[in-house]
């Protein structure tokens, strides 16, 4: 299991150092939550901030766009140093054009599905994706409760990816994940877990990441 700490729960007055701290703690990806106050009822930060903190780690930047018109901003997030860009199937941009734009910049593309969206919505795009991100909370805020009823969606996605022969497709889950439930996600077929609160509120993030990984063995 790969762990992607969500920086949404970090001390933003020390953003760069927080990223370096997560790197040392054994994070596999840095999960960066971009919210526009329109697609979701919260505002975080944009591409210039990502550009500033890029130098604090060599680990991949996994940029989760919770914005209404992602296509308009792909160049900005590409220039800022994103390695993976995921955006929501529920957004207003043309989905195929946005995937193509991300890939044309040499960046890995992913689609995200909100809890109310069925897995089938992303089936037509799977062959073009590096990753599908299944939200296990309503997007917008950290610290919410994990929705266990999203687990069958993960299994459905894995089953369809296998049917299409897409053995390399990564499935990521995001929201309310910690030591107490990560094994359920591993069993359902998740490859990458985002963890905000459970890593940042831990006394020892390295220990928290390690024990989450151990639970999945
Ligand atoms: C929610 C974000 C998540 C969130 C996860 O909209 O996409 O990445 O920060 O935080 P926790 O792990 O606290 O639910
Ligand atoms: Zn996220």
8 CB under 6 A from ligand 1? yes
DSSP assignments along 24-81, one per residue: HTT-SSEEEEEEBSSSSS-B---HHHHHHHGGG--SPEEEEEE-S-GGGGHHHHHHTT
pLDDT digits (tens), the chain, 217 positions? 999 999 999 999 999 999 999 999 999 999 999 999 999 999 999 999 999 999 999 999 999 999 999 999 999 999 999 999 999 999 999 999 999 999 999 999 999 999 999 999 999 999 999 999 999 999 999 999 999 999 999 999 999 999 999 999 999 999 999 999 999 999 999 999 999 999 999 999 999 999 999 999 9
From the CA of 177, give the closest atom in ligand 1: 12
From the CA of 176, give the closest atom in ligand 1: 14
For the question of residue 128 being annotated catalytic, the response is: no
E strand or H helix at 206: helix 205-215
pTM exceeds 0.85 for this model: yes
Residue closest by Cα to atom 12 of ligand 1: 196
Tokens of 173: 């889950």
SS3 of 86, please?
strand
């Amino acid at each position: 299991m790969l762990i992607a700490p969500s920086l949404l729960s970090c001390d933003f007055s020390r953003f760069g150092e927080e990223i370096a701290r997560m790197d040392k703690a054994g994070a596999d990806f840095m999960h960066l939550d971009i919210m526009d106050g329109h697609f979701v009822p919260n505002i975080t930060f944009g591409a210039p901030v990502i550009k500033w903190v890029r130098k604090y780690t060599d680990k991949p930047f996994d940029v989760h766009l919770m914005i209404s018109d992602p296509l308009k901003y792909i160049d900005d997030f590409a220039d800022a140093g994103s390695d993976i860009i995921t955006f929501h199937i529920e957004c207003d941009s043309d989905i195929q054009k946005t995937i193509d734009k991300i890939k044309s910049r040499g960046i890995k593309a992913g689609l995200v599905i909100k809890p109310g969206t069925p897995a089938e919505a992303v089936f037509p795009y799977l062959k073009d994706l590096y990753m599908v991100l299944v939200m296990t909370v309503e997007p917008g805020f950290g610290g919410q409760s994990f929705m266990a009823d999203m687990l069958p969606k993960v299994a459905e996605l894995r089953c369809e990816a296998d049917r299409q022969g897409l053995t390399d497709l990564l499935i990521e889950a995001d929201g309310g994940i910690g030591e107490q439930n990560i094994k359920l996600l591993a069993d359902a077929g998740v490859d990458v877990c985002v963890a905000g609160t459970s890593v940042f509120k831990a006394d020892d993030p390295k220990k928290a990441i390690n024990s989450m990984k151990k639970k999945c063995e």
